Structures are given as C-alpha cells and as structure tokens.
Amino acid sequence: MALFGTDGVRGLANGALTADLALSLAQATAVVLGQGRSAEARRAQGRRTKAVIARDPRISGDFLGAAVSAGLAASGVDVYDAGVIPTPALAFLVNDFDADFGIMISASHNPAPDNGIKIFARGGVKLPDIVEERIEHYMDEPKLLPTGADVGRIRRFADAEDRYLLHLLGTLPARLDGLHVVIDCANGAASGVSPQLFADAGARVTVIGADPDGININDGIGSTHLDVISKAVVEHGADVGIAHDGDADRCLAVDAEGNQIDGDQIMAILAASLHERGLLAQDTLVATVMSNLGLKVAMQERGIRVVQTAVGDRYVLEEMNRSGYSLGGEQSGHVIMNDHSTTGDGLLTGLQLVAEMARTGKTLAELASIMTVFPQTMINVKGVDKTRVDDEQVQAAVEAVEAELGDSGRVLLRPSGTEPLVRVMVEAATHDEAEQAASGLAEIVRERLAL
C-alpha cells in the first residue's frame, strides 16, 4: 500500500504515523531531495543542504517535528524550524530562503488525533508522484550518515512569520481601511498570523478560534463549521467573515448577513477582478469537475474560459503550472494564485477577497451575485463495483438525463478513491429536478453495479 496519499503522508499520530516513520521519512527525503550536493561539493561552494520545517499546533506535532528534525540533521541537513505557521507560509519560506526543501507537519482539516507530513521541493512546490515514489523507495535503503562537521544543525527560523506577513501585504491591490472582518482561525496554524495580517492591512478585526491548546484544532470551528462564523459576523455587525482550516491552506467566507460563500464563488469574484484588471493569465480559470455549473456559466458571460481537472488541488496546480495559468482552485476553498504563491493559501485568498470589497466599494453579497449557484444533489451509492461505471446501461441513463437537463444542468458519476462506492452528482435549475434525477440514476447504478 502506498505511503503517500493525495496530500502527503497522513494518519493517526502514534497509530499509523509514528516517530520512527517520521524519522525514516525525513532521512529518505534528505537522500532524494538533497542528493544533488555531496558533502565535498557543498564545502567547495560554501553551501550546506538546508530545509525549513513547520507545523500546526496539534499536540503530536511536537514529537513528530522532533523526529523529522533529528532525521534531517542526522543526514547532514541544516534544519530551520519555523515553529507553528500555516502550510502556505512554509511553502513561501522554502522559496524565499532558497532552501533545498521543506517539511510541514499537519493534517489540515482533520481532527486533532490525526497528523500528517507534507513535503515541498525547492521553490516551495508540491512533489510529483514519481518523487514521492523515490522517497518511499529510499526508506528501505541505506541512509546518509555523515560524521563530524558534516552532520546537520537545528536552528530556530526567527523571522519566518515576519517574512510571510510582508510578502502577503505586498500583494494588496487596496488597503482594508474601514472594513470590519471576523476571522475564524480554527484553533490552528493561522491563529497568530492571520489576525495580524488583516490588522496590518487596515481592517478592524474580530477574532474567534484563535486559542489553540493542541487538541482543539478544527473542533467545531473553522472552515468546516461555518455556522460559527456566520453567527459571529451577524452578532458583531461585521462586513465579512473569513474562515480557515487547521493549516490555513484554504478559506471560505460569509457575507454581512451570514450567508456562506464557497470556493467556487470566491474564485468567480477573484477571476472577474483579475480579468478586469488584465491580470488573469490567458483569461482562464482552472477548477475541478466538482465545481458548480454556475461558476462556468458566470465565467462564460465574462469572457473567461474554465479548464476542468480531476478532483484535488494537486491536479489543479499541475494544470496551472503546465499551461501557465494564474488562478485555480476547488469548491472547498483551496484557491491557488500563482502570481503570489506556489500552493493554496487561505490567508492570501481571504486578503484578496476582502481587498476586492475595498477596491470596488461593494459588499461581499454584491460581489458574489455574479454567480448563480445551481442546486446540487450528491448521492453516495455504496456496496457497488466502482470499476464498472462505464456499464452500457448506466452510461445510457446518464446521457438521457444530460439530454433532459440540457444547458441548465449536468451529471457527474465518480468512483470513490477509497471506498466501494460511486458518487452520483446532479446539478439542475431547481433542487427538485436535481434530486429526482440523482435518485433515478443512483437506483440504476445500484442495480447494475451491485456486488
């Protein structure tokens, strides 16, 4: 079974993800990502292999971070420990500090008992599959074991947060003076830096979910529990709410009335703004097949092309890098702005969204109105053979529904990557239409693909 998932290595801390595994993974990473420089070559160049590490505040990050640092230093890598900072901050620092690679210890939006290890290559970019496979292979191979002056050192990266803050503030198209922003930090990695960022940008800031104790990360708060920030925005009479997940690589928002604004709507707003200012590369937005049909319709009306990828921010990023696009993301709020970041950045996204309110003088509800969200129904059909979704009768049923919906809807059948089930998703002009079509297709899938 592959060690790496869609976003690094993840599992129950001290269950599947142990200190021994973290140490071994760090040593293998040192071999693969630092192997281009021998000890002799580094001495000749006056340069040592260096890596930046960081973590979110969950309690297991302490021992996993210690294991990663030990594995790297034992392999001759100088470690710069940035402490508790968001994942996108780690990616930025790898590039800004000209490090050979970086390691983030975080399980993102997962509950506190879980943890994960995400690896970024030189430049702050995520690893392609082939490099992950090489690292996994080298976990069973001899490790680098330098001695004497060639072992690595572990240092505190003292100005890590300041570097990241200054970078984000430098992207602002307009200051946020006069705007009242509620920020939900999910008791996670953004708890220190996000409130400071928005305050430095000129906003009046109300903060919730910024008291991490190691076990309350994502616990009933953050971008996976938007009812909390919706209530807070209304109670405080704020203009907008920005909600992060545990490692702040994504964000969702709520308007002044407490209405939720998802990643599709955020992308629509940002794409329209960049397009208007001549900053949207090739007038193209990259989204996944799960993005709402309303996003595509709204973009077409404004002369913006939408390129779709498989589900997962890594596939969005691969397409952006391959074709030179500057904006992409997912409905979940994982938005990538390639002009300013190498990965999804919830602080950058939130900052740019609120800055668009300041730049235009419009409310978030007014900005979000450029996109009409089509009603969507999703049914998970369990206990079926997901490898047979191309069954002739199933596909005929899909085509029939698509023909009936026409341009006002769409159908997506997608086998789960981890479970024996097929996801049936239908969008239509009304909720009743979507529900009726999805139920009918789910029944056909259940009958035809039964195990």
In angstroms, rounded to a whole number, what is the distance separating the alpha carbons of residues 363 and 172? 18
pLDDT at 419: 72
Going edge to edge, which strands form the sheet with 284-288?
A: 305-309, 284-288, 327-329, 335-337
Question: What would the two tokens of residue 448 be?
Answer: 């035809």
Is 24 annotated in a binding site? The answer is: no
Q: Which residues of the chain have pLDDT under 70?
A: 1, 35-46, 417-418
pLDDT at 411: 92
pLDDT in tens, 188-241: 999 999 999 999 999 999 999 999 999 999 999 999 999 999 999 999 999 999
430 residue type, one letter: T
Is 98 annotated in a binding site? The answer is: no
pLDDT at 40: 53
pLDDT in tens, 246-294: 999 999 999 999 999 999 999 999 999 999 999 999 999 999 998 999 9
pLDDT at 90: 98
Domains defined for the chain, CATH in brackets: 9-158 (3.40.120.10), 170-368 (3.40.120.10), 376-448 (3.30.310.50)
pLDDT at 217: 98
Buried b (16+ CB within 10 A) or exposed e, 88-118: bbbbbbbbbbebbbbbbbbbbbbebebbbbb
pLDDT at 42: 55
Is residue 416 annotated as a catalytic residue, yes or no?
no
Active-site option among 106, 108, 273, 291:
108
End-to-end C-alpha distance for the chain, whole angstroms: 23
Is 249 annotated in a binding site? The answer is: yes
Classify burial at 440, counting beta carbons within 10 Å of its beta carbon; exposed 0-12, middle 13-18, buried 19 or more. middle
pLDDT at 35: 64
361 residue type, one letter: G
Is 407 annotated in a binding site? The answer is: no
In angstroms, rounded to a whole number, what is the distance separating the alpha carbons of residues 333 and 349? 9
- Kind plus residue range of the DSSP H or E element containing 442: helix 431-448
Buried b (16+ CB within 10 A) or exposed e, 235-274: eeebbbbbbbbbbbbbbbbbbbebebbbbbbbbbbbbbbb
